[in-house]
Structures are given as structure tokens and as C-alpha cells.
Amino acid sequence: MRALLLAAGLGTRLQPITDTVPKCLIEIDGKPLLEYWVSMLYKGGVYPLLVNLYHHADKVINYINNSQYREYIMTVLEKELLGTGGTLLKNRDFFGNEPLMLVHADNLSVFDVRSFVNCHLNRPNGCEITMMTFKTSTPHTCGIIQTDEKGCVQDFYEKVTNPPSDMANGAVYIVEPSIFDYLVNLKKEFIDFSTEVIPHYMGRIYTFYNDVYHRDIGTIESYKAACKEFPRRISQYATD
């Protein structure tokens, strides 16, 4: 299985750190976020990887060129940001006609990759996406989901006041190649995954619960929290 690692974000809420460092390369416990993803996915059998670039692209390329995993990583530079769905569509040839993993690589997440893949392979009939979920302490800042008894998403609340639960979208997905047909039919370059793709697949999104670790590194406060709480004991999933 191949994966798209989204690493082009500006990280404006993390300024001034991201004035000089791309969000995907900020360090947690001495390692950049992107390194956790690349190492974990490779060990889980998900590669080669495609990383999209925009903000401080030269620094991300330099990191990749010096990585032990460089032969398994390709990059694509975006002249204009295309949104998650737009980037996926633009690079459809990289994935062929196989399921793929779609990752927001500026989050810190640790989980059993093979279990996630197996979860998707054993998804209920009719589901074309499997979404990684986690429990959040700040539901109003996340995309909150509600599922049926099979674990399929029935409702999705994107950053609303007083959401109905604390089960959140982890912004990591495994998607079937059939998604490209829908993206093409939108007839646009910029496609937002949360507002234009997820609602269309409501009832056809299975879920995988991350019970190890997940944090959105979106603000200075969340970054400081991750630096403080990230447990070394889970590094068996993420690093060599």
C-alpha cells in the first residue's frame, strides 16, 4: 500500500516557530514529526510514500535527502495549495488502482499500522473509506463523529460549539481508488476533504480507533503539551 503524506501547510497557528521551520519538521522528543510518520509507515509495510511540499519546501527536501528512508520517498511541489482532496486527485497516477493511505503528516500519531490496514480490509460492505479516530479533550476544535453499531460514520460535526461526543476524526484515512471518480466529477482543482468529500461518503466510512496516541500539533499550546506528554515507551511503533 502506498501513502500520501500531506506536509504543505503553512502552520500559521504555530508562529513564530513555523516562520523558519515547516510544521512537519518541528521536533518532538528530538525527532521531527515527519520522521515519526515515515518510520512508522515503513515498518508497517506502507511505502513508497509521496510527500507534498509548499511552505519551506527546500528544508523538507533536505531532510528527506538525508533520511535513511529516502529511496522510499517521492516529493511533489505545489505552486498553489490544492486542499487534501485536490492534492490526492492531482497525484492519482502515483497510486494506481489500489487502496491508499492518506495522512495529515503535521499531527503526531502513533498506532499499529498493520492493524489499521487489516481493519480496512475487513470493513463492512459498501464502505469505501476507513477513518482513524481518537478521543479528544477539546471536541470543539476537532471534527467529531458519531457511528452506528457497525462502526460506520453516520454524522460528522466539523469544529462546532458543543459537539455531541469526544470521538474525533484523526485525519488519517485508507481510501479505495473509486474515490478518484468522485473527485474528478467535482470538476475543480481545490478540494477540501472535510467539507466536500466526507459528507458525500456519510454512511460509507468505517472507523479504526487509535488507542495508542494522537495529538493535533496545531497550536503552540498543543505543541508544548505533546513535548511534555509524549511517552518514550510507545516508540516501538514509530522509530527504529
Q: What is the pLDDT of residue 233?
A: 46
72 located within any domain: yes
Q: For residue 224, what are the domain limits?
A: 2-124+171-202+213-228
Please give the Cα distance from 214 to 110 (Å, whole number): 6
The CATH number given to whatever domain includes residue 64 is: 3.90.550.10
pTM as predicted = 0.90
In a domain, 192, yes or no: yes
Q: Residues 6 or more apart from 51 whose CB is under 8 A from it?
A: 4, 5, 7, 34, 60, 64, 73, 74, 75, 76, 105
In the numeric block, which cell numbers belong to residue 46?
Answer: 506502507
| 80-119 pLDDT per residue, tens | 989 999 999 999 999 999 999 999 988 899 999 999 999 9
pLDDT at 10: 60
In a domain, 7, yes or no: yes
Query: Is residue 133 situated within a structural domain?
Result: no
In a domain, 59, yes or no: yes
Ranges under pLDDT 50 in the chain: 233, 240
Query: Would residue 144 count as lying in a domain?
Result: no
Look at residue 197 and tell me if it is in a domain. Answer: yes
Three cell numbers written together for 22 = 515547516
Asked whether residue 101 is assigned to any structural domain, the reply reads yes
Number of domains in the chain: 1
